């Protein structure tokens, strides 16, 4: 799995327009916190279960990828942690070009326990939208 900083991930998407950009956060996170335009929301886990279902996730990504395990897949979550497990599940299922966004959409916590102030997609000024 490739580990791309947010600006590297943005450049990767520009260089690979065929890449499937997957936001693995819960749907409510993606809708209300914001998300990059063009990202597909396929949650790694969802409320109320809050437990990953790797098989369901892989099946959903496979459908979105048109069954093509060679298609590049870029994963994004809040802080870059969920995408590690999600990416490993995809690689185990045979996906060959998996990358994730280090620091995710909101980034690490600052000393005041706030996000988007230290690093992350939003912090780096990359395109995003909010419901």
Residues 107 and 123: their CA atoms lie apart, in Å, by: 8
Confidence (pTM)? 0.96
Domains in the chain with CATH codes: 2-101 (3.40.250.10)
pLDDT at 131 over 90: no
pLDDT at 62 over 90: yes
Over the stretch 100-124, which tens digit does the pLDDT of each residue have?
A: 999 999 999 999 999 999 999 999 9
The two tokens of residue 119 are 């690093």
* Cβ-proximal residues to 27 (8 Å cutoff; 6+ apart), any chain: 41, 43, 46
Cβ-contact 125, 33 below 8 angstroms: no
pLDDT at 33 over 90: yes
Residues 37 and 59: their CA atoms lie apart, in Å, by: 23
pLDDT at 71 over 90: yes
């Amino acid at each position: 799995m490739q580990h791309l900083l947010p600006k590297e991930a943005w450049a990767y998407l520009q260089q690979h327009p065929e890449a499937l950009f997957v936001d693995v956060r819960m749907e409510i996170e993606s809708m209300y916190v914001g998300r990059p335009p063009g990202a597909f929301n396929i949650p790694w886990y969802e409320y109320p279960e809050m437990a990953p279902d790797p098989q369901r996730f892989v099946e959903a990504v496979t459908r979105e990828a048109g069954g093509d395990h060679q298609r590049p897949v870029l994963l994004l979550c809040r802080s870059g942690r969920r995408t590690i497990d999600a990416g490993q599940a995809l690689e185990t299922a045979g996906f060959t070009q998996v990358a994730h966004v280090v620091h995710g959409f909101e980034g690490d916590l600052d000393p005041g326990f706030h996000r988007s102030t230290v690093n992350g997609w939003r912090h780096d000024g990359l395109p995003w939208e909010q419901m």
